[in-house]
Structure 1
Amino acid sequence: MDQIDQQIVVELQKDARRPVRDIARTVGVAASTCFERIRRLHETGTVLGYHAEVDLAAVGRRVQALVSTQVRPLSGEVIDRFERETSAMPEVMAVFVVAGGDDFLLHVGVGTMEDLHSFLVDTLSRRKEVVGFRTSMIFRHRRDPAVAPLP
């Protein structure tokens, strides 16, 4: 990826619905060149897809938390299964496999505190491989929608 590809990636992350000619003008190349570079970024797997950013409260997820989770026995099979199964849970928005004192970090989004309590007590704590978890409430969440490649 050269500097033009990096700029195109940043512009696509900001607004992937912009016309190619607008992106081309912003990065200083011809529209045909920009189109070809975007096609190549898809083919090489640099650009994996496009997603709509939504207001979490508007879709019923007013309460968010990060749940640090420990599982045992710590094996590849247990890790893979837990990651796969928690990813499929409707309350779980993201799953991170981590190192350190915890094995997983779950980003959970639900409607109410009662829903969070129910998820923790009725769903997570009943899993036989879960030996412990800690919950950190999220008051604000900010994410830069455009992540530029590092120099």
Structure 2
Amino acid sequence: MANDVLDEVDRRIVDVLRRTGRLPNNALAERVGVAPSTCLTRLRALVDRGVISGFHAQVEPAWIGRPIEAMIAVRLRAEARASIAGFFDRVAVMEQVQNVYYLAGADDFHLHVAVEGTDELRSFVTDGLSTQPEVARTETNLIFAHRRGGAA
């Protein structure tokens, strides 16, 4: 993967999509400066190679009734290292979890969560996370605002 090199056209496609999201193929081809058929072939190849891992709509949590966002640092117990993959899979599908980051460093995971209110946040941490046997500690930080990086 790291040895695969993107040529200039592929780099332009990735850059435009990274900054503007998904565009109709004709608009993407025009911005990149290639024919629509070339652009579509290149885009499909980027997806097949795993360079582009998916397309999604980024929805503001407040619009779906989840205005409170937080980052929760989770450290697992030393003896629970064999449970990392299972923990990762379990928390990734929790309704409140927006993103899961598996880390090197003092914490094992950071969870970006969105909830209806502080009562749900407290319950998520105390009942949903802290009671899991592999969890040694959690630390919760409220998010006041965020902006997606790399966007034009």
Same fold per superposition (TM over 0.5): yes
Residue 43 of structure 2 is aligned to residue 38 of structure 1: yes
The two structures, once aligned, show a CA RMSD in angstroms of 1.8
CA contact (8 A) 1:65 1:108 kept: yes
TM-score between both structures, scaled by the size of structure 1: 0.87
- Paired-residue identity, %: 38
Give 2:147's aligned residue: 142
Offset at 1:52? Answer: 0.9
Counterpart pick for 2:11 among 6, 10, 34 = 6
How many residues end up aligned between the 2 structures?
146
Give the Cα–Cα distance (whole angstroms) in 1 for the partners of residues 73 and 93 of structure 2: 17
- Deviations along 1:7-65, one digit per CA (max 9) or x if unpaired, are 1122233131x322221111111222212211211221212221111121001221111
CA contact (8 A) 1:66 1:137 kept: yes
TM-score between both structures, scaled by the size of structure 2: 0.87
Give the Cα–Cα distance (whole angstroms) in 1 for the partners of residues 129 and 79 of structure 2: 17
Give the Cα–Cα distance (whole angstroms) in 2 for the partners of residues 48 and 30 of structure 1: 23
Aligned counterparts, 1:95-134, within 5 A: 95-134=100-139
Give 1:58's aligned residue: 63
Give the Cα–Cα distance (whole angstroms) in 2 for the partners of residues 146 and 46 of structure 1: 18
Offset at 1:6? Answer: 1.1
Residue type of the partner of 1:21? N
Give the Cα–Cα distance (whole angstroms) in 2 for the partners of residues 74 and 138 of structure 1: 31
**2:78 alignment partner, SS class:** coil
Residue 40 of structure 2 is aligned to residue 69 of structure 1: no
Q: Which runs of 5+ in 2 are unaligned?
A: 1-5
- Deviations along 1:83-132, one digit per CA (max 9) or x if unpaired, are 11111211111111112221111111101011101111121111111111
Give the Cα–Cα distance (whole angstroms) in 2 for the partners of residues 86 and 117 of structure 1: 16
Give the Cα–Cα distance (whole angstroms) in 2 for the partners of residues 81 and 65 of structure 1: 22
**1:50 alignment partner, SS class:** coil
User: Which of structure 1's runs of 4+ aligned residues deviate more than 6 A?
Assistant: none
Residue 42 of structure 2 is aligned to residue 15 of structure 1: no
CA contact (8 A) 2:80 2:134 kept: no
Give the Cα–Cα distance (whole angstroms) in 2 for the partners of residues 142 and 30 of structure 1: 33
Q: Which runs of 5+ in 1 are unaligned?
A: none
